[in-house]
Structure 1
Amino acid sequence: MPKGVNLRGSMPGARVLPPTERWVTQKVDQLTYTDKRTWQQRYFISEEHYTKGGPIFLMLGGEREANPAWLQNGQWVRQALQHKAMLIYLEHRYYGQSRPTSDISVSNLQYLTVEQALEDVANFQRYISTSLSLANDTTWIVFGGSYAGTLAAWFRLKYPDLVNAAVASSAPVFPTKDFKDYYVTAALSLLLHGGADCYNTLINATMTILNYTTTDSGREQLQYIITLCEPMTTVNKQDIANVFSTMASYVGEVVQFNNGARQFEGIKGWNYGIKEFCTDMSSDDPYAGDPIYRYSRFLSARLGNSGKTCLEHRYSRVRENLKDTDWDSDVAKGERQWLYQSCTQFGFFQTSESNNQPFGSNFPDSYFLQMCKDVFNTEDYDLDEGIYELQQKYGGYSPNISHAIFVTGQNDPWVSLGITKNLPNDVTAINIYGAAHCADMYPDYPMDTVELVQARLEIDAILAGWISRP
């Protein structure tokens, strides 16, 4: 870190200028010339560190509302200070306040695709270049994390004339329907950093809950043990899949982000990671109770952090909620939209198809595919076709790209879908030991590992080389 720079990338004591919210006109259907309908896409811009002639750092939004706090926090802010760059954060269509259509019905969600999103970015880049009268040789670097990291890489691949390079953090570049490796990697991370006792206790709790679902008295107790919204009066395969998938997802989230310094985003429980989870699950504590009750306390806390008071076990209720097409609905915060993208192009279904994980075998890919059919009336072949097209178009693990950095964390459950080996044409893969999802992007934190710090320095050096080129 440059001397005299604080963790957010601003000079100590300096007045931090708030980012400016702006809007750009986009076409609803970027791929059909005769469709003239338009909408307003939101973006945030900060010129706090910018000097005329400096580079443009463009952050792409992903599957949630754009948070302007990113223009005052994170590694790219520190890098902007170093290189006197302008920061721009573009919100993704159909997320946050960027709403191309009157609702999110299936007929309108047809415009929520990778291709449409990339065309939005291309049009936006040209708009900014013209409206700000930028020099033709201005250096553009596109950034993104997770799904947005995939978009950043694919944008550089498709439009090398518009951006000079891409930094793609924890980017899953290989769409796949049955993403069973998610929980396999999560399990390995739990074993490595939490120990066998934690892992086995989780298995014990999972199996105990499953056994409770087989009797009337057990199901009655589960309402209180895992805070169900209503009693589980009957056994339904889809209900069971929903319960166990939800519980696994809470543990998966802890592993995925594992103490990532996300407090600036307002994330509750950001500093609760594998170590904390396994301490709570450990049998060394004589007052912790049986494994199922330790798991119960964890689940209750995660529900609270997510703003929920109970766990909805009924598949039918979840399904009907996901059918809500109103922008003011809870699912319109991103859940319905991301499910649509998963059902039509990506898959990424985090299933229990592998035996090498502690979450049981109750949420196979058929559970997720049935949800797609029930909510969007899609068929399996629709997704198969969408996945195939993306793999063919953008190259999967072997993209035809130049000047890019792919950063992954070895603890991240998404790592198996990312690029972890260097490729030709100045494409560097940085796989960080012990790091979690998008860890390289967050602000410096006292608990950062040596490996994470070193990876950020490597990214800095590559960025400096790109920017200094004539």
Structure 2
Amino acid sequence: MFYNILKVLIFIHPICGFVFDGRFKHLVKEVTSLIQFGPPVHETKWLEQKLDHFDDNENRKWKMQYFKRNDFWKPNGPVILFIGGEAAASPGFLYGGMAYELAKETNGVIFASEHRYYGKSVPLKFNTVDDFKYLSARQSLADNAHLIRTIKLNPLYSKAKIVVIGGTYSGNLAAWMRLLYPELVDAAVASSAPVLAKKDFYEYLEKVNDVYEKYGTNDCLAKIKDKFKRYETLLESQDGIEQLKKEENICPDTDLSVPENKQTFFLTKTSEFMGEVQYGRVDDIKYRCEHFNETIESQLDVEPNLWREESQCHDYDFNRMVDYSYKNKSSFIACWTYQTCTEFGYFQSSTSSKQPFTNNIPVDYYVKLCMKAFGSEFNDTRVDNGINKVNDIYEGLHPNVTKVVFVNGDMDPWSTIGILEDVSHDAPAIIIPRASHCRDLVVSHNDEVELQEAVKHIKDLIKKWIGVGEFI
């Protein structure tokens, strides 16, 4: 229903959502499937946190959920912390993927934290927009710092090296933990981390264009351009709108002469191609091109169609979509959108001419979403100020860090605002050929050799930096 469009909007999105439905949410689903049947070997734990870490007069507290697994632990092993992102956390990260493998190979204890306001780690009840006030990367980083300090109070781990790992937005957090808390964090993996906050994220669709050009069939980009140009032409007249409504089963009362409704339609149609690139593999791109006019299940974890349930038609009404989606303000949709409106931007526009989807997704569309969802004060100025503050605090594409490895797949649209060149000898950038968003965090033996070799290299770097295994 309308939920689908908001998931598209925050498919920003980390992500990875900000058309970012949160790749983190996608990762959670993937790793949860790794948990084997039988007695669990992890503990679910809760840690009291301050509501506001930066106000000495704030006495309110809440409890953050986190998970622990220590059956690999041996003395002198490290602490591996998988940092939670823009979705409910999962103990699945303790059963498979890079964090699990590192813990197993280094005799480490492994933890997974949950980000405040997501999942069960809810500080406030979301009665008003003001209750979102304490939702920010800075507060989340302080939560994880408190968690690490608490872990190190245990004599078993008091001298252990600390490794943090994250993907998409939580990849940002992993790098920023090392930046802001170097005395607590010894090494970090920042996977597919869009560390540069940016309002007009036009580069996203440029990368989608490049991937279809490189890996699609010869005529695929031309077909996409023709399809979207035809949408644009039909929407220029009332007769064309009526024809489009019949072809796409759009609800009769959806007024496609309203700019925001038209833009919602274009964003929804574009997201089908965005999802294949962000989450897919090379073969997925080719398959979509070869079956261009067929309905293909999206890589996005969303309903395949935007139905209005009572009439079984597609509704692209912007106001109804936002009103419906934000009735439940505790949803990850509302929380992540709030963060994009107040911190990151990540507004995936179609303002570039180097993409095939026409120019019908303006930056202003997302700003209107912020204002409609949270109030008129969440305007351009509020968005710009938040972005500038984030880039000032965390230093954008040039953070002064060491012992952080920045990993990106060369197919990933988010890589265009990530770190693609070495920051320093001890803060390298790794680009994985034919890899999509956060692909390195959960790798199987069936994945391409380049991906498996990159993951081995990442783990070797971490082992070297913390002095374990063959690197002692």
Q: Tell me the residue number matched to 2:185.
A: 163
Q: Tell me the residue number matched to 1:423.
A: 423
- What are the equivalent positions in structure 2 for 1:359-398 lying under 5 Å apart? 359-377=357-375, 378-398=378-398
Unpaired segments ≥5 residues, structure 1:
1-7, 261-271, 282-293
| Letter matched to residue 359 of structure 1 | F
Q: What is the CA–CA distance in structure 1 between the aligned matches of 2:336 and 2:246, rounded to whole Å? A: 31
Q: Tell me the residue number matched to 1:276.
A: 287
Q: Tell me the residue number matched to 2:438.
A: 438
Q: What is the CA–CA distance in structure 2 between the aligned matches of 1:75 and 1:424, rounded to whole Å? A: 23
| Letter matched to residue 401 of structure 2 | I
Q: What is the CA–CA distance in structure 2 between the aligned matches of 1:326 and 1:118, rounded to whole Å? A: 23
**How far does residue 421 in structure 1 lie from its aligned partner after superposition?**
1.1
Aligned residue for 1:421, secondary structure, equals coil
Q: Tell me the residue number matched to 2:50.
A: 27
Q: Which moved more, 1:303-312 or 1:213-222?
A: 303-312
Aligned residue for 1:190, secondary structure, equals helix
C-alpha distance 159-300 of structure 1, shift in aligned 2 (>3 A): closer
Q: Tell me the residue number matched to 1:97.
A: 120
Count of aligned positions: 429
**How far does residue 198 in structure 1 lie from its aligned partner after superposition?**
1.3
Please give the per-residue CA displacement for 1:143-177, whole angstroms capped at 9, x wherever unaligned.
00000000110011100111101100000111000
Q: What is the CA–CA distance in structure 2 between the aligned matches of 1:189 and 1:103, rounded to whole Å? A: 40
Please give the per-residue CA displacement for 1:95-145, whole angstroms capped at 9, x wherever unaligned.
111101011631011111111111111111111222x33343201100000
Please give the per-residue CA displacement for 1:65-108, whole angstroms capped at 9, x wherever unaligned.
11222221212222221111111110101111110101163101
Q: Tell me the residue number matched to 1:256.
A: 278
- What are the equivalent positions in structure 2 for 1:147-296 lying under 5 Å apart? 147-223=169-245, 225-229=247-251, 231-259=253-281, 273-281=284-292, 294=293
Query: What's the TM-score once normalised by structure 1's chain length?
Result: 0.85
Q: Which moved more, 1:148-157 or 1:420-429?
A: 420-429
Q: What is the CA–CA distance in structure 2 between the aligned matches of 1:142 and 1:34, rounded to whole Å? A: 30
Q: What is the CA–CA distance in structure 1 between the aligned matches of 2:51 and 2:249, rounded to whole Å? A: 42
Q: Which moved more, 1:47-56 or 1:307-316?
A: 307-316
C-alpha distance 35-458 of structure 1, shift in aligned 2 (>3 A): same
Q: Tell me the residue number matched to 1:37.
A: 60
C-alpha distance 431-301 of structure 1, shift in aligned 2 (>3 A): closer
Residue 314 (structure 1) aligned with residue 312 (structure 2): no
**How far does residue 274 in structure 1 lie from its aligned partner after superposition?**
1.4
Q: What is the CA–CA distance in structure 2 between the aligned matches of 1:64 and 1:306, rounded to whole Å? A: 20
Q: What is the CA–CA distance in structure 2 between the aligned matches of 1:14 and 1:239, rounded to whole Å? A: 46
Q: Percent identity?
A: 31
Query: In 2, are the aligned partners of 1:63 and 1:92 still within 8 Å (CA)?
Result: yes
| Letter matched to residue 119 of structure 1 | A
Q: What is the CA–CA distance in structure 2 between the aligned matches of 1:234 and 1:393, rounded to whole Å? A: 41
Q: Tell me the residue number matched to 1:336.
A: 334
Aligned residue for 2:264, secondary structure, equals helix
**How far does residue 386 in structure 1 lie from its aligned partner after superposition?**
1.3
Q: What is the CA–CA distance in structure 1 between the aligned matches of 2:88 and 2:37, rounded to whole Å? A: 28
Q: What is the CA–CA distance in structure 1 between the aligned matches of 2:38 and 2:106, rounded to whole Å? A: 19
Runs (4+) of structure 1 moved beyond 4 Å?
13-16, 299-308
Aligned residue for 2:165, secondary structure, equals strand
Query: In 2, are the aligned partners of 1:104 and 1:325 still within 8 Å (CA)?
Result: no
**How far does residue 18 in structure 1 lie from its aligned partner after superposition?**
4.1
Aligned residue for 1:196, secondary structure, equals coil
**How far does residue 462 in structure 1 lie from its aligned partner after superposition?**
0.6
Q: What is the CA–CA distance in structure 1 between the aligned matches of 2:110 and 2:275, rounded to whole Å? A: 29
Unpaired segments ≥5 residues, structure 2:
1-30, 309-313
Aligned residue for 2:342, secondary structure, equals helix
Query: In 2, are the aligned partners of 1:257 and 1:273 still within 8 Å (CA)?
Result: no
Q: What is the CA–CA distance in structure 1 between the aligned matches of 2:108 and 2:301, rounded to whole Å? A: 40
C-alpha distance 177-453 of structure 1, shift in aligned 2 (>3 A): same
Q: Tell me the residue number matched to 1:77.
A: 100
Q: Which moved more, 1:437-446 or 1:183-192?
A: 437-446
**How far does residue 325 in structure 1 lie from its aligned partner after superposition?**
4.8
Query: In 1, are the aligned partners of 2:62 and 2:122 still within 8 Å (CA)?
Result: yes
C-alpha distance 280-421 of structure 1, shift in aligned 2 (>3 A): same
Please give the per-residue CA displacement for 1:327-349, whole angstroms capped at 9, x wherever unaligned.
3xxxx1x1111111111110000
C-alpha distance 83-247 of structure 1, shift in aligned 2 (>3 A): same
